Amino acid sequence: MMITRTLPPDAEDATIQAVVDHVRAELSAMADADDDPETNAGDVQIRVHALDAGARDGTTGQVYEDACVLVIGELDMEPDAPYLKPGYDPFAGVAEELEAIVRRDPAAAAALDSAAAKNRGKHVRRQ
């Protein structure tokens, strides 16, 4: 997983550090089923670069039009959350009148049905 943030080239050290902390916590939480910002924090790789206008970052290949401080965070883990796991019911606890908004949309309803058929035994849709 990767999160990249850009800051102005004259960003103060404290601001850069705050963004680094944010990136580390976000990635840790993304990979933890309980969203703990600390659990995986030690495994997050952080790099900070100062880029000139129009520079291309070697890792991502992304070109940045404006000069910036680039904060790149990487974590070699997969996202983990209940809704990403088999058996999750996205409409559990959702009021019927709200779910009906999706059901009234033919395209959205068809997509839900298709996903349910494709993931039968994985994602369970409440009927």
44 is an interface residue for other proteins by CB under 8 A: no
Closest approach, Cβ 71 to other proteins, in A, equals 9
Does 26 sit near other proteins (CB under 8 A)? yes
Nearest distance in Å: CB 127, other proteins: 15
- State in angstroms the smallest separation of the CB of 103 from other proteins: 11
Tell me the two tokens of residue 42.
Answer: 């030690």
Residue 96: Cβ-neighbour burial (10 angstroms; 0-12, 13-18, 19+)? exposed
- Contact in structure between 41 and 28 (CB atoms under 8 Å): yes
Q: How far is CA 95 from CA 17, 87, 100, 125, 126, in A?
A: 42, 20, 9, 14, 12
The site for other proteins (CB under 8 A) is made up of 1-8, 11, 15, 18-19, 21-26, 29-31, 35, 37, 57, 59-62, 72, 78-84, 88, 90-95, 97-99, 101-102, 105, 107-108, 111-112, 114-115, 123
